[in-house]
Structures are given as structure tokens and as C-alpha cells.
């Protein structure tokens, strides 16, 4: 098996200044569990996952509309 046979070509991304709510909505709509965080110039800055959202936002009782993606990585 080759990597290209199982990899996703349509990688979903989000910007650091976007909210966790936006990240969760995009993940839900796309039926995926993580997003690559990219800067305005397209530089990869990190990744945000469902687990990040659950442990750092939901479990802490924070408002997903107020927390920026950049606070996660």
C-alpha cells in the first residue's frame, strides 16, 4: 500500500485568529477530527484536534466563541 492511496488531498485548515467554535463547526461539517493551523502566508503553525477542544475548552467551561485557535498550540 502506498501513502497516496490513503492520504487526504483535501486538507482542511484554519487560521490562528479564528475561534474554537469555527474550528468545531468546520470539523463537524467535514466529518474530521483535526485541522491544520496556518498563518496568513500559508505557513503551518500547528494542529487543533477534537481532544484539544474537549480538554481545553469544554472541560474548562470556556466559551468556544471567545477562545481563539492560537490559544491552543
**According to the model, what pLDDT value does residue 10 have?**
87
- Rounded Cα distance, 37 and 14, in Å: 5
What are the C-alpha distances in Å from 41 to residues 14, 15, 38, 44, 46?
12, 10, 8, 9, 14
Structure-block grid coordinates of residue 16? 490562528
Structure-block grid coordinates of residue 57? 475548552
**According to the model, what pLDDT value does residue 73 have?**
59
Structure-block grid coordinates of residue 47? 494542529
**According to the model, what pLDDT value does residue 7 have?**
76
pLDDT tens for the chain, 73 residues long, are: 888 888 778 899 999 999 999 999 999 999 999 999 999 999 999 999 999 999 999 999 999 999 999 987 5
Q: What is the CATH number of domain 8-71?
A: 3.90.1280.20
- Rounded Cα distance, 46 and 21, in Å: 17
What is the CB neighbour count within 10 angstroms for residue 12? 14
Amino acid at each position: 500500500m502506498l501513502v497516496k492511496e490513503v492520504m487526504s488531498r483535501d486538507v482542511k485548515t484554519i487560521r490562528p485568529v479564528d475561534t474554537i467554535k469555527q474550528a468545531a463547526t468546520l470539523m463537524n461539517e467535514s466529518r474530521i477530527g483535526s485541522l491544520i493551523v496556518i498563518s496568513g502566508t500559508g505557513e503551518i503553525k500547528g494542529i487543533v484536534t477534537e481532544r484539544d477542544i474537549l480538554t481545553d475548552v469544554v472541560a474548562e467551561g470556556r466559551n468556544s466563541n471567545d477562545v481563539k485557535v492560537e490559544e491552543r498550540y
